[in-house]
Amino acid sequence: MVSKPGETGPRVRARELGLPLGRFKPGKYNAITDVEGVLVGHTTLIEGSGPLKPGFGPVRTGVTAILPNLGNIFMERMSGGGFVLNGAGEVSGMTQLMEWGLIETPILLTNTMAVGAVSDGVANYLVQRYPGIGDEHDVIIPVVGECDDSWLNDISGRHVRQEHVVAAINAAKSGPVQEGNVGGGTGMVTCDFKGGIGTSSRKLPEVLGGYTLGVLVMSNFGKMHNLRVGGLPVGEVLVEKFKNTPHRGKSYGSIIAVVATDAPLLSHQINRLCKRVGLGIGRVGSYAAHGSGEIVVGFSTANIIPRRTQKMVYKMKILLDQRLDPLYEAVMEATEEAILNAMCMAEPMTGVNDNYSPALPLDEVRRFVDACRPIFASVKKRPHQTSVPASKERPTDEDREGDVTLGAAQPTRVRSAEGIPFPTRPA
């Protein structure tokens, strides 16, 4: 008999548990939609119960759509990039994304066996909206990420259809984002608890550029004993409580993350930002197992690269590489919180063959937090200045050849190419 430890109280986001989630403040919605112009929509499919009958259910899956540039990403493209921490997974369209450094389609998240159908759905949607695709316009390769939800879902039944893709795109909006058992995250599991869709954002102080950064994850990775919640070894304690609850044993799972920011970044800078998402995933307990796919897609909304233009060149605004450190820290924080939001908001779920995925017991997490609260209370919340004050338009470190020492070199005090902005004359 399956043991289902009880849980009381409503589901809440991780921040409401009083967890230490970094030093930067979130945006208004604490979601990827805090980045202006980014929309998110879901289609959720939940049908049937009992034994698995391939092609008939039970169904626990869906589609999540992320639309940059208010959905007008085909004609007005944006700088993009990505990173593969471990490649036992797939994001279709990523080869071209990395080669061109451009995002030109919506980004879709779904289950492994639905990638083809979702890609077809996006292609049909765009061809209907832009009939010149493949003729006056270039062909497209939609960006579609996947995770394996077969523990709870009839994945081989391929229940996601093109109409579900269009519905998710049409439902995309700004504002608060549904989390947990929704969209592509409907059947996902994280550290043997119910996972799914989660999101978070960070707003940098003006002294560090004032930029907004958001992360959305489809979280489906990990084992319970590795789980860390706000740095606390919650998983090691919960293993005993859930020892009689069966869990998936053949798959470690995967995670797909999408990063958006209004910081003016080139493709190589977005690639570097996406690498730091892996650090946030590690904070929650992932070690990127052999069979796991940790894949990250990112884009910047700061520059528009038009599909049609009579110009020979276009001008771009670019953040200096040495100003990236606050964004690196922010994306790590937002990734950790996005994963925890997915777990905190997800309800328990029973799927194929009565496989059961319990929800993260928030009562237990609160108990850990309360025990550590005296420590958290002593932590200063106000971010200290980690970089030289700078406006978005003109940094204060003006070139003054010959009168800057290594110790005073701005904008950093590290010995590196970035720390010495120009050659100094020998004494």
Pick the catalytic residue from 150, 254, 267, 300.
254
The mean pLDDT of the chain is 89
CA-wise closest residue to 316 among 392, 265, 259: 265
38 vs 32: CA distance, rounded Å: 7
| Cα end-to-end span (Å), the chain | 80
The whole-number pLDDT of residue 372 equals: 84
Q: Which pLDDT does position 383 carry in this prediction?
A: 54
Does position 392 have pLDDT exceeding 60, yes or no?
no
Q: Maximum CA pair distance of the chain? A: 81
Amino acid 259: pLDDT? 98
Dump pLDDT digits (tens) for 344-371: 999 999 999 999 999 999 999 999 888 8
CA atoms of 69 and 77, how far apart (whole Å): 8
What is the predicted pLDDT for the residue at 402? Answer: 40
Tokens (6 digits) for 75 = 């004609």
Pairing of strands 189-190, 76-87: unpaired
Query: Which is nearest to 368 in space by CA: 184, 164, 231, 269?
Result: 231
Which of 205, 183, 211, 338 lies closest to 270 in space, CA to CA? 211
pLDDT in tens, 253-301: 999 999 999 999 999 999 999 999 999 999 999 999 999 999 999 999 9
φ/ψ region of 175 (left if φ > 0, alpha if ψ in -120 to 50, else beta) reads left
Catalytic residue check, 292: yes
Kindly report the number of other CB atoms within 10 A of residue 12's CB atom. Answer: 13
Of 6-15, 20-29, 95-104, least confident by mean pLDDT is 6-15
pLDDT grade, residue 389 (50/70/90)? very low
How confident is the model at residue 5, as a pLDDT?
Answer: 66
The yes-or-no verdict on residue 378 having pLDDT over 80 is no
- Segment 202-222 shows an average pLDDT of 97
Q: Which two tokens stand for residue 306?
A: 């038009």
Would the pLDDT of 395 be above 50? no
Residue 247, pLDDT above cutoff 70: yes
- Binned at pLDDT 50, 70 and 90, residue 373 comes out as confident
Residue 305, beta-bridge partner list: 77
Residues 274 and 259 sit within 8 Å (Cβ to Cβ): yes
The answer, yes or no, to whether residue 15 has pLDDT greater than 60, is: yes
The more confident residue out of 251 and 68 is 68
What does the pLDDT read at residue 318? Answer: 95
- Kindly state which CATH superfamily the domain 14-361 is placed in: L-amino peptidase D-ALA esterase/amidase (3.60.70.12)
Mean pLDDT computed over 376-402: 50
Give the domain ranges of the chain.
14-361
pLDDT digits (tens, 9 = 90+) for 323-344: 999 999 999 999 999 999 999 9
More confident residue, 225 or 377: 225
- pTM to 2 decimals? 0.88
Segment 114-124, tens digit of pLDDT: 999 999 999 99
In the predicted model, is pLDDT for residue 141 greater than 60?
Answer: yes
Q: What are the pLDDT digits (tens) for 81-94?
A: 999 999 999 999 99
Can you give the three-state secondary structure of the chain, one letter per residue? Answer: CCCCCCCCCCCCCHHHHCCCCCCCECCCCCCHHHCCCCEEEEEEEEECCCCCECCCECEEEEEEEEECHHHCCCCEEEEEEEEEEEECCCEECHHHHHHHCEECCCEEEEEHHHHHHHHHHHHHHHHHHCCCECCCECCCCCEEEEECCCCCCCHHHCCCCHHHHHHHHHCCECCCCCCECCHHHCCCEECCEECEEEEEEEECCHHHCCCEEEEEEEEEECCHHHCCECCECHHHHHHHHCCCCCCCCCCCEEEEEEEEECCCCCHHHHHHHHHHHHHHHHHHCCCCCCCCEEEEEEEEEEEEEECCCCCCCCCCCCCCHHHCHHHHHHHHHHHHHHHHHHHHHCCCEECHHHCEECCCCHHHHHHHHHHHHHHHHCCCCCCCCCCCCECCCCECCCCCCCCCCHHHCCCCCCCCCCCCCCCCCCC
Query: Is-catalytic flag, 254?
Result: yes
Backbone angles phi and psi of 4, in degrees to 5: -125, 85
Task: Find the catalytic residue in 294, 333, 336, 337.
Answer: 294
